[in-house]
Amino acid sequence: MTELKNSRTGVEAGESVPMVIFDNVSLCFRKHSTLFELFLDYRKKEREFWALKGISFCIYEGDTLGVIGRNGSGKSTLSLVCTKVYRPDKGGVTIKGRVQLLALGVGFQKQLSGRENVFISGSLLGLKTSEIRQKMADIESFADIGEFIDEPVRTYSSGMKSRLGFSIATAICPDILILDEIMATGDKAFKDKAMERMQNLRSMARCAIIISHDPGQLKKICNKILWLDKGRIVMQGEPKPVLDAYQKFCKNPEKWMAEHPACLER
């Protein structure tokens, strides 16, 4: 099994302070029982769903960590733990720096214009109004949504939201940028432009977490991969071996798991 090294690419552990540390993190959601279930005296453990189970990893400055897995594997839950929306039931999380989570349909005030949302996002990250104004031209240019920048976000298509949200997050440059399927929409020209900007993130002495279902996308922009399934880590490490294994798994999950029983014990 490939192990995730606690260092940025080409740098030995100890030379850089980690910005994100997950130490044996587990998170449980408790389901509400129906009257029928209470009547049958369902046990407590049957009403619990562990979204994350014993998750441990480190991210250093300069790292771009890709998180991949099937729907329901815990990817978005992990991102919400990073932003402290959720608190783990077990284990510890250390976050050093400002975090910006960007996910389609999340974070925008739909009744306000795109321009007004730029100021809101910047303010939440601690920027002064004058600093946001300085970045506005770059954000408008990169998003390339024309006059819609001054229209209510509720009138935007999912692709336009993706463009503006990505432009805001990468122009403001938080210490820790989390993109949750943000490049799943949009035309090829914008995706290529976004990919180029993501590849430059490492030179900004910051780190990023990219959540995606696209192995090809992650292979291009990430130096580490975390593969989740049913809330557990299946593999973690360098992109090629982990993503190659994931693609084989997707073709026949039952067969792959049968051939790799150690992954079920994690």
Is 260 contained in some domain? no
37-64 residue pLDDT tens: 555 555 554 578 899 999 999 999 989 9
pLDDT at 7 > cutoff 50: no
The total domain count for the chain is 2
Question: Do both 87 and 215 map to the same domain?
Answer: yes
Question: Do both 87 and 192 map to the same domain?
Answer: yes
194 dihedral zone (left: phi>0; alpha: psi -120 to 50; beta): alpha
Mean pLDDT lowest for which of 16-20, 80-84, 190-194?
190-194
Question: Which pLDDT does position 190 carry in this prediction?
Answer: 82
Structure tokens at 263: 């992954």
Is 248 contained in some domain? no
Q: Which of these, 174, 178, 61, 82, lies nearest to 127 by C-alpha position?
A: 174
H or E element at residue 75: helix 75-82
| Structural domain of 160 | 108-174
193-229 residue pLDDT tens: 887 887 776 666 588 999 998 898 899 889 999 999 9
- Measured CA to CA in angstroms, residue 222 lies from 30, 64, 119, 183, 266 at distances of 34, 5, 29, 14, 24
101 contacts 165 by C-beta, under 8 angstroms: no
Question: Which pLDDT does position 36 carry in this prediction?
Answer: 55
Is 34 contained in some domain? yes
CA distance 116 to 110: 10
Chain length of the chain: 266
CA distance 60 to 80: 19
Q: Indicate the DSSP class of residue 33.
A: P
Residue whose tokens read 């029928």: 36
Q: By CB neighbour count within 10 A (0-12 exposed, 13-18 middle, 19+ buried), where does 259 fall?
A: exposed
- Provide φ and ψ at 178, rounded to 5°: -115, 120
Spell out where the chain has E strands: 18-30, 48-60, 64-68, 90-95, 99-103, 176-180, 207-211, 224-229, 232-237
Question: Which pLDDT does position 158 carry in this prediction?
Answer: 83
Question: Do both 90 and 200 map to the same domain?
Answer: yes
Question: Do both 146 and 161 map to the same domain?
Answer: yes
Question: Do both 118 and 88 map to the same domain?
Answer: no
List of residues 6+ apart from 6 with CB closer than 8 A: 13, 18, 58, 60
CA distance 34 to 40: 10
CA distance 176 to 17: 13
Question: Do both 169 and 68 map to the same domain?
Answer: no
CATH number at residue 81: 3.40.50.300
Is 114 contained in some domain? yes
Residue type, 173: C
Question: Do both 20 and 146 map to the same domain?
Answer: no
Q: With pLDDT > 90 as the criterion, what percentage of the chain qualifies?
A: 47
Question: Do both 125 and 167 map to the same domain?
Answer: yes
Bridge partners (DSSP) of residue 67 are 211, 226
Q: Which of 121-125, 177-181, 259-263 shows the highest mean pLDDT?
A: 177-181
